[in-house]
Amino acid sequence: MKTKIVFSEKCLGYGSWHTEGPARVRRAQEILKEKGYDFLVPEPASEEDLLRVHDQEYLWMLKKSLVEDADTPAYDNIYEYAKLSAGGAILAAKIKGFSIMRPPGHHAGASGAALGASTRGFCYVNNIAIAVKHLDKPTLILDIDGHHGNGTQEIFYGNAKVTYLSLHRHPNYPGTGIGSDLNCINYPLPFDCGDTVYVGTLVRALRRLDMSKFEVVAVSAGFDTHADDLASLGLSRKAYRMIGENIASLKRPTFFALEGGYRGEDVGNDIDQLLKGFEA
């Protein structure tokens, strides 16, 4: 069955001047529509869902637009946008779909910037973490964004039910994920390492896992690994098809939430290739 795309026009309403702007998701959505995908519109996550991951004080500050850093502006109503994006990840988790909602989430820790990072890296609440806690099943979180998901690692560090696995560029923002620790498995990769090194590393990483522990795979799906994007690992479009095939080989109910990827043309086509590989 073809994976459904979770999307609401409402997520395009802020930040048109920013790198993490609406144009990237708009273009990706147009491409996926042209390619015949079906779409579902999410509802906002509940406050209860957010509180399973974030502390009350941080959420209050977010609601009042009082928390801002150099990467992550305090937009008007950003709390509502963040709740809707988290709701997108929850809907994707329920229907085994792909949420292309923004803002992204994997740099957001329990109370904001995570593991000593200087900023929240365009993230407000941690969508994938909120969806994983909503499902509350033993889960493998696979983070294929080009940056380390320091927020997700912080939230699930030491959690017996969840394993966090990330491939990312190093050295780069946020500077974490150099080594593995407990349930957090990290593969730092050099700038522009290319398709062969990346996919080879992914295959080895997945082979080392004991998949019998997991009932669900949650993918933090970033596409800034694409050649010349913000966390380029020099990947071509072909790599995303192979990534999709390898995720399918885990044979678990799987959902996806968009993280980075800053050129909509590539994001749309890379998602299509990933899902074609996943569904093949």
* Residue 280: burial class (beta carbons within 10 Å; 0-12, 13-18, 19+): exposed
Tokens of 80: 């509502």
Among 260, 264, 268, 277, binds Zn ion (CB under 5 A): 260
**Shortest separation between residue 56's beta carbon and Zn ion, angstroms:** 28
**Shortest separation between residue 2's beta carbon and Zn ion, angstroms:** 26
Q: Which of residues 177 and 260 has its CB atom nearest to Zn ion in the complex?
A: 260
SS3 sequence, 140-162? EEEECCCCCCHHHHHHHCCCCCE
Distance, in Å, from the CA atom of 185 to the CA atom of 176, rounded to the nearest integer, reads: 12
Q: Which of residues 44 and 151 has its CB atom nearest to Zn ion in the complex?
A: 151
Size of the site for Zn ion (CB under 5 A): 7
Active-site choice (107, 134, 147, 226)? 107
User: Applying CB under 5 A, does 270 fall inside the site for Zn ion?
Assistant: no
Identify each DSSP E strand in 94-227 by its residue range: 98-99, 108-109, 112-113, 139-143, 162-169, 184-189, 216-221
**Shortest separation between residue 12's beta carbon and Zn ion, angstroms:** 20
Q: Which of residues 88 and 149 has its CB atom nearest to Zn ion in the complex?
A: 149
For residues 203 to 242, the per-residue mask of contacts with Zn ion, x marking binding by CB under 5 A and - elsewhere, is -------------------x-x------x-----------
Residue type, 253: P
Q: Which stretch binds Zn ion (CB under 5 A): 53-61, 69-77, 254-262, 267-275?
A: 254-262
- Whether 134 sits among the annotated catalytic residues: the reply is no
Distance from chain centroid for Cα 84 = 15
Instruction: Tell me the HSE value of 61 on the side-chain side, using a 13 A CA sphere.
Output: 16
The C-alpha angle with vertex 118 and arms to 117 and 119, in degrees rounded to 5, equals 95
Among 133, 147, 241, 263, binds Zn ion (CB under 5 A): 147
Instruction: Tell me the HSE value of 115 on the side-chain side, using a 13 A CA sphere.
Output: 20
Q: Which stretch binds Zn ion (CB under 5 A): 22-30, 37-45, 142-150, 189-197?
A: 142-150
Among 20, 49, 143, 145, binds Zn ion (CB under 5 A): 145
Please state at what angle helix 78-95 crosses helix 56-63, rounded to 10 degrees: 120
Tokens of 276: 């074609």
Closest residue to Zn ion, based on beta-carbon distance: 260
User: Applying CB under 5 A, does 174 fall inside the site for Zn ion?
Assistant: no
Q: Which of residues 49 and 145 has its CB atom nearest to Zn ion in the complex?
A: 145
Q: What positions carry a catalytic annotation?
A: 107
Residues forming the site for Zn ion (CB under 5 A): 145-147, 222, 224, 231, 260
